[in-house]
Amino acid sequence: MSCTKGLIRFPKNNIMEIHNSEFRLYLKSPEQQDADAIAELANNYNVSKELHNTFPHPYTRADAISFIDFAAASLADGTGLHLAIRIKGEGEVIGMVGLRIFSRNRSAEIGYWLGEKYWSRGYGKEAIRLMLAYGFEKLKLNRIYAGVFSHNERSMHILEKLGFCREGVLREEELKDGKFVNTVYLSILKREYKEKLRIEVKEIR
For ligand COA, give the closer residue by CB, 101 or 110.
110
CB of 140 to ligand COA, least distance (A): 24
Binding region for ligand COA (CB under 6 A) out of 11-19, 68-76, 110-118, 165-173: 110-118
Binding residue count for ligand COA, defined by CB under 6 A: 22
CB count within 10 Å of CB 194 equals: 11
Binding mask 121-150 for ligand COA (x = CB under 6 A): xxxxx--------------------x-x--
Q: Which of 16, 96, 144, 158 binds ligand COA (CB under 6 A)?
A: 158
Binding track over 52-91 against ligand COA, x by CB under 6 A = ----------------------------------------
Helix H segments across 9-141?
Answer: 35-42, 45-48, 61-77, 123-133
- Residues numbered 30 to 49 that lie near ligand COA (CB under 6 A) are 47
One residue of 120, 160, 195, 200 binding ligand COA per CB under 6 A: 120
Compute CA distances 33 → 45, 65, 68, 187, whole Å.
23, 9, 10, 34
In this structure, which amino acid lies at residue 44?
N
Residues 186 and 89: their CA atoms lie apart, in Å, by: 33
Beta carbon of residue 47, minimum distance to ligand COA (angstroms, whole number) = 5
Neighbour count for residue 160 (Cβ, 10 Å): 13
Cβ(197)–Cβ(137) under 8 Å?
Answer: no
Q: Interface residues with ligand COA (CB under 6 A)?
A: 47, 50-51, 112-114, 119-125, 146, 148, 152-155, 157-158, 161
